[in-house]
């Protein structure tokens, strides 16, 4: 992936090493975090539900550590910053074409745990988006997981992770997130999971749109890059992860979609670059 021409984003908050707790501190072993990551981030249950994330939200938030920009020589942080900037450019333009204004999210780099407006964010949740504070949270240790545990190496695979979370921000701005959240309260667990899958596949489709439009703007992709992202989408499908984690597949408990669905919707966004192609809620087939 060719990222040298991309600018850096002004919206990265580097909270690493700022007392938020780290891997191995506080008695949480790396093995436990890795296991929780596998079980909670991608499989059946929403990680936020699993970890009591929503219930934890206190009325008064502890103040977040002071934000500062990542050091210029920090390669991974710079990569994330450039990808984030690229999503800003793509979505600003896409919203403008729709007569709307895009408000960029902030991206927080943290290690271990960090306060968010949705409760305490933890490494074990994997990367996530908090709709209440419009921030994407990521512990860069996740990229090592992606490469080593999920066998999904490559920069475009890493970029896809960011673009997917930014996709959730786009859904938030468009009001999709609110509607889905409200609808989930009224339906059965199985139906709530089905809504969650549609929401996640739409975020994959939006990530695909970013890939297409970003590549049109700056020709980012080298041969093999698209395959790396599709490989990542395959590796983190619910069916694949459930098979690995529990040896069987329970489609009703999917919350993110199967590998094939995730690939299909990412591709749909990537091939069209058109937001109208991402209506997973109206699709006859996912």
Residues in contact with Zn ion by the rule CB under 5 A = 200, 203
* CB-nearer residue toward Zn ion: 114 or 171: 171
Q: Which CB sits closer to Zn ion, 12 or 170? A: 170
Q: Using alpha carbons, select from 250, 184, 245 the residue that is nearest to residue 48.
A: 184
- Sign of the dihedral through C-alpha 63, 111, 123, 175: positive
Distance in Å, CB of 168 to Zn ion, minimum? 6
Comparing CB distances to Zn ion, the nearer of 171 and 231 is 171
CB 190, min distance to Zn ion, A: 19
Calpha distance 160→158 (Å, rounded)? 5
> Which long-range contacts (C-beta less than 8 Å, at least 24 apart) are formed by 161-164?
161/127, 161/232, 162/80, 162/83, 162/84, 162/87, 162/107, 162/127, 162/136, 162/138, 163/83, 163/87, 163/206, 163/207, 163/210, 163/211, 164/203, 164/204, 164/206, 164/207
Q: Closer CB to Zn ion, residue 200 or residue 225?
A: 200
Q: Please say which residue, 166 or 220, places its beta carbon nearer to Zn ion.
A: 166
Least distance between Zn ion and beta carbon 103 (Å): 19
Judged by beta carbon, residue 200 or residue 238, the one nearer Zn ion is: 200
Q: Which is nearer to Zn ion, 88 or 200 (CB)?
A: 200
**Tokens 């609110």, residue located:** 178
Give min distance, CB of 167 to Zn ion, in A.
7
Minimum Å distance from CB 201 to Zn ion?
A: 9
- DSSP strands (E only) in the chain: 12-14, 106-109, 113-116, 119-122, 128-130, 135-138
Closest separation in Å from C-beta 90 to Zn ion: 18
Q: Which residue is it, tokens 């021409």?
A: 5
> Residue 96 Cβ, how far from Zn ion at the closest point, in Å?
25
Tokens representing 162 are 């960011």
CB distance 142 to 67 below 8 Å: no
Residue 43 structure tokens? 């499989």
């Amino acid at each position: 992936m060719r990222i040298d021409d991309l600018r850096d984003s002004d919206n990265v908050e580097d909270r690493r090493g700022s007392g938020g707790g780290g891997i191995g501190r506080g008695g949480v072993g790396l093995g436990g975090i890795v296991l929780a990551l596998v079980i909670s981030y991608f499989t059946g249950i929403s990680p936020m539900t699993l970890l009591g994330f929503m219930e934890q939200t206190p009325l008064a938030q502890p103040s977040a550590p002071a934000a500062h920009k990542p050091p210029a020589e920090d390669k991974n942080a710079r990569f994330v910053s450039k990808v984030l900037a690229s999503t800003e450019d793509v979505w600003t333009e896409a919203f403008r074409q729709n007569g709307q204004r895009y408000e960029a999210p902030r991206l927080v780099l943290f290690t271990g745990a960090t306060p968010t407006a949705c409760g305490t964010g933890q490494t074990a949740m994997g990367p996530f988006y908090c709709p209440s504070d419009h921030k994407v949270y990521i512990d860069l240790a996740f990229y090592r997981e992606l490469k080593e545990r999920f066998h999904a190496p490559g920069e475009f695979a890493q970029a896809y992770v960011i673009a997917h979370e930014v996709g959730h921000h786009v859904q938030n701005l468009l009001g999709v997130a609110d509607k889905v959240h409200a609808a989930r309260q009224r339906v059965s667990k199985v139906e709530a999971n089905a809504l969650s899958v549609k929401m996640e596949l739409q975020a994959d489709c939006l990530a695909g749109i970013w890939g297409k439009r970003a590549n049109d703007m700056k020709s980012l992709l080298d041969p093999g890059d698209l395959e790396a992202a599709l490989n990542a989408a395959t590796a983190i499908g619910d069916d694949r992860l459930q098979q690995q984690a529990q040896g069987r597949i329970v489609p009703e408990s999917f919350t993110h979609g199967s590998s094939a669905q995730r690939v299909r919707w990412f591709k749909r966004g990537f091939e069209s670059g058109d937001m109208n192609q991402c209506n997973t809620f109206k699709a006859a087939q996912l």
